[in-house]
Amino acid sequence: MKKRSKILGFTLLSLALFCKCDSDDTPNPNPNPGGEPVEATTTLINTLSIPWELTWGPDNFLWVTERSGKISRINPDTGEQDEILVIDEVEQVQESGLLGLVHHPDFSSNPYIYVVYTYNGQNGLLEKVVRFSYINESLVDETTLLDNIPANRIHNGSRLLVTSDLKLLMTTGDAGNTNLSQDINSLGGKILRMNLDGSIPNDNPIAGSYIYSYGHRNAQGLTLHPNGNLYSSEHGPSSDDEINRIEIGKNYGWPDVRGVIDTPSEETFAAGTEVVESIYQWTPTIAPSDLVFYTSDRIPQWTNKLLLTVLKNQQIIALTLNDNGTAIIEEKIFFNQAFGRLRDIAVSPTGRVFIATNGNSYGDTTNTHSIIEINRIEE
């Protein structure tokens, strides 16, 4: 039986959308009216070293993290890079380093950014969430919100998202230790939820705990649908890369369940604990990374679809949801092997789409990684 489309429907806490698009930029649905068609893609910059997070900022610039510890702003029209900060404490080894970044939704009154990075703890790599203030075009006043999160050379999760009720969500990986994901006393292999000052919300599913959901392996994509559904993209082992619909307090099975429950051992495990199956999965694996929900009609082929950047298979996948968002009913591949490994995707309020590349092979550390704008789809 192929692990492809077993579906479970669940009710998720209603959250309004705050995705990677929090400000206004100048609408430009037809950048060359009456003239020749614009190029399908535009390379803004091709001198980055392992970009990880790419997000549209409230200042109408692209903000990017590089795993070495650098945070920059990039002009989305010229590609000019303004290096804001290099975080000296960042420890970059293999997949670790400076990873997720997100802005406060009311940036004009609360000019904060939140970032995740790995650092050297007493017994090895750990991960922390910190907040910076953006003042006079500088990032200052670093404040640690949560530290001592399990980390490793691999499987660090680290996607950040702020919801409309001003809660910060963060994915964490199992840090190469599969036992952590089912351990509710560990922050590894989870989606965490915290207030924007780092405290634990009173309405979290486990009292006194940051845990929002558990049983994750290495989720690197996290996005909200306008109807409140929360979705993650997650790396599997040799099988079952996943798209999950996240429900509060639920167990997503790793390492005992991969994808859907369809083996005797998975059935035995699920008989003793309530497990949420993925709504879509890939075997062989494709290495899914970032995930956004695209609402604009600027690129009509992608309107109202989940867009997934893919590392190993080097492509963008557009995923169509059913009416209530409980299943994926179609996938379509775009830009297959056109740009190498695709790490991240950012969308402006008017639907401009930007992607960050990560070289042509795993472990490519050259300073030739790019940010590319997708202007239109050729079909």
The DSSP-derived string for 181-222 is TT-TTS-TTEEEEEETTSPPPTTSSSTT--EEEE--S-EEEE
- pLDDT score of 4 more than 70: no
Q: Could you give the 3-state DSSP secondary structure of residue 80?
A: coil
Reference 358, options 40, 61, 64; nearest CA is: 64
CATH number of the domain where residue 169 is located: 2.120.10.30
In a domain, 29, yes or no: no
CA distance 211 to 363: 31
Q: What is the pLDDT of residue 36?
A: 56
CA distance 1 to 37: 46
Q: Dihedral of the CA atoms 353, 84, 67, 152 (nearest 10)? A: -120
Quick one: pLDDT band at residue 3, thresholds 50, 70, 90?
Answer: very low
For range 97-121, the mean pLDDT: 98
For range 296-320, the mean pLDDT: 98
Mean pLDDT (the chain) is: 91
Question: What is the domain count for the chain?
Answer: 1
For range 77-100, the mean pLDDT: 97
pLDDT above 90 covers what percent of the chain?
A: 87
Reference 173, options 190, 161, 185, 186; nearest CA is: 190
Q: Could you give the 3-state DSSP secondary structure of residue 12?
A: coil
In a domain, 16, yes or no: no
- pLDDT score of 86 more than 90: yes
Q: What is the pLDDT of residue 24?
A: 38
In a domain, 354, yes or no: yes
In a domain, 9, yes or no: no
CA distance 83 to 97: 17
DSSP strands (E only) in 266-337: 280-282, 288-294, 305-310, 315-321, 328-334
- pLDDT score of 258 more than 50: yes
Domain of residue 282, residue span: 41-374
- pLDDT score of 5 more than 50: no
Q: What is the pLDDT of residue 2?
A: 35
In a domain, 28, yes or no: no
Burial of 71 (0-12, 13-18, 19+ CB in 10 A): buried
CB 341 within 8 A of CB 357: yes
CB 99 within 8 A of CB 117: yes
* More reliable by pLDDT, 7 or 20: 20
CB 32 within 8 A of CB 365: no
pLDDT digits (tens, 9 = 90+) for 154-207: 999 999 999 999 999 999 999 999 999 999 999 999 999 999 999 999 999 999
In a domain, 5, yes or no: no
| Peptide linkage before 51 cis (omega within 30 of 0) | no
For range 230-234, the mean pLDDT: 98
- pLDDT score of 33 more than 50: no
Chain-centroid distance, C-alpha 68: 18
Quick one: pLDDT band at residue 37, thresholds 50, 70, 90?
Answer: low
Joined together, the tokens standing for residue 198 give 């780092």
CA distance 308 to 291: 5
Reference 86, options 150, 147, 138; nearest CA is: 138
CB 246 within 8 A of CB 213: yes
Q: What is the pLDDT of residue 127?
A: 98
In a domain, 15, yes or no: no
Backbone angles phi, psi at 272, to 5 degrees: -105, -5
- pLDDT score of 32 more than 90: no
CA distance 112 to 198: 13
CB 108 within 8 A of CB 101: no
Backbone angles phi, psi at 321, to 5 degrees: -90, 155
For range 9-35, the mean pLDDT: 40
CB 370 within 8 A of CB 359: no
For range 85-111, the mean pLDDT: 97
- pLDDT score of 23 more than 90: no
pLDDT digits (tens, 9 = 90+) for 260-305: 999 999 999 999 898 999 999 999 999 999 999 999 999 999 999 9
Q: Is the dihedral of CA 289, 81, 20, 350 positive or negative?
A: negative
- pLDDT score of 17 more than 50: no
In a domain, 307, yes or no: yes
Quick one: pLDDT band at residue 39, thresholds 50, 70, 90?
Answer: confident
Joined together, the tokens standing for residue 268 give 């035995």
Joined together, the tokens standing for residue 171 give 């994915």
CA distance 214 to 70: 30
pLDDT above 70 covers what percent of the chain?
A: 90
Q: What is the pLDDT of residue 19?
A: 41
Terminal CA-to-CA distance of the chain, rounded, Å? 33
Q: Which amino acid is at 216?
A: H
